[in-house]
Structure 1
Amino acid sequence: MNTIRDILQQTESAKVIANHIDYADYVALDLSVTNTDLAGESLTAAKDYEHYIQRYLDNHQAQIAFGGYNETRNLYQRSAVFKNENTDERNIHIGLDLWINEAAPIYAALEGKIHSFQNNEALGDYGPTIILEHEIEGCKFHTLYGHLSLESLKDKKVGQPIAKGEQIAELGLPPVNGDYAPHLHFQIIIDMENKKGDYPGVCSSKTLAFYLQNCPDPNLLLKIK
């Protein structure tokens, strides 16, 4: 029997943002703690990241920057969502980010139905979020779309059928999107653990093994080269 990873690898590639932009116009972006280029940058607010990412896109003659799966980052330190006195610091990103400094439509990666949705309003959180449920070859899994616009949640219904490639949302802007530079957080989740409208997109080193198993690399499906 095929595993979820087998199924994702065998599935036709999917675009989830601005499908008029070719993958040739994407560039990989490293926001990890090991990227020495970030050391000289003042990146404390959404506007700082917008400027940094736009320079990065311009320097690489690209339109979308992508990356971040299993990447340890410093950018979550401003938010109590990821660290407080009662929890381990969560700073390892387990989705894939697609950064674009403009309004952009968001599309369903696969055929499915709406599992849940909500506005995760805390600073540094997802903001408006939609989660879809899919089933292929008897295997159920989910895709999460975070940092959307508020309008994206209007007229949505749990169980609503969704076609592959159907526009389901618009990209959100700060501060509504959790106060980040505009980007889509896209994540694959096998077991939702009874959560609705939200699921961790960042984990601690202690829980990393579990989340890497439960949240496969989204690029298995997107297939960005």
Structure 2
Amino acid sequence: MIQESRLLIMAFKHLIDPKFSKNNYFPIDLSIKNPFWDDNDVSDIDIFEKYLDNQRSKTGKYIAHGGYLEQRALYRKSARFQAGLVRDVHMGIDLWAPAGTSVHAFMDGVVHSFANNDDDGNYGPTLILEHDFNGKQLYTLYGHLAISDMENWSVGSRFRESDIIATLGKPEENGGYSPHLHFQIMTNIGEYKGDYPGVAAQEELQDYEGLILNPNSLIF
């Protein structure tokens, strides 16, 4: 069994531009419990950006983070997540920074797969790396990247820990979101290529136990 606390504390500074130290990060609440989203549309980028800027001013910090197992109002605004079971639980973490911010490899690994998941509300350009951790396979997913980065990827290509692997994409290329990185760690990826569920229904959470690791040790 992979020890999450030991594994995840390794690479905090490598996920996005390391000029942003840990002290530059602050948590943000996009959950259905935040009353601000009762009267404000979280899916409206202008509204969200103003909220983000306000939180930056309040905290004096710049990089917003959060989202692991957060039940979000955002997904209740999208038909994409309403078909069948209502999917509104976020399964990775998000880091908000400007488009063009560099994204870095979590640890040594090779390109497992990649794709441009370009339908509205999806990941946009997505990269999945495969890692060998103490003889066990581990997979990291990086979503909402820039389309131009895709020309630098090829299956089997190797990245070293902290190498720049991509940059954050603009809303028109990243699935329609305020620029941010969706980061997720999986112990088994099955048959998925260039994609993996990042939002789940409450009823599905038990199915992902042991498959999607808690990445919060990267932040706290």
TM value normalised by structure 2: 0.94
Q: Residues 180-213 of structure 1, C-alpha deviation per residue, up to 9 Å, x if partnerless?
A: 0111000001111210000000000111112242
Distance 1:9 1:134 in 2: 13
The corresponding residue for 2:162 is 165
Q: 1:213 to 1:171 in 2, by over 3 A?
A: same
Aligned pairs for 1:135-146 within 5 A: 135-146=132-143
Q: Residues 10-39 of structure 1, C-alpha deviation per residue, up to 9 Å, x if partnerless?
A: 645442112111110100111111112322
Distance 2:31 2:19 in 1: 29
The match for 2:198 among 201, 204, 224 is: 201
Q: 1:58 to 1:124 in 2, by over 3 A?
A: same
Distance 1:143 1:158 in 2: 14
The count of residues paired between Structure 1 and Structure 2 equals 220
Farther-moved stretch of structure 1 (4-13 vs 135-144): 4-13
Counterpart contact for 2:115–2:195, Cα < 8 Å: yes
Distance 2:209 2:178 in 1: 25
Counterpart contact for 2:13–2:21, Cα < 8 Å: no
SS at match of 1:213: coil
Distance 1:66 1:97 in 2: 5
Q: Pairwise CA RMSD of aligned residues?
A: 1.6
- Please list every run of 5 or more consecutive structure 2 residues that lacks an aligned counterpart in the other structure: none
Distance 1:193 1:70 in 2: 21
Q: Residues 135-163 of structure 1, C-alpha deviation per residue, up to 9 Å, x if partnerless?
A: 11111010000000001111311010110
When you count helix as a share of all residues, which structure comes out higher?
Answer: 2
TM value normalised by structure 1: 0.92
Pair 1:178 & 2:165 matched: no
- Please list every run of 5 or more consecutive structure 1 residues that lacks an aligned counterpart in the other structure: none
Give, as a single letter, the amino acid of the residue that structure 2 aligns with 1:120.
N
The corresponding residue for 2:106 is 109
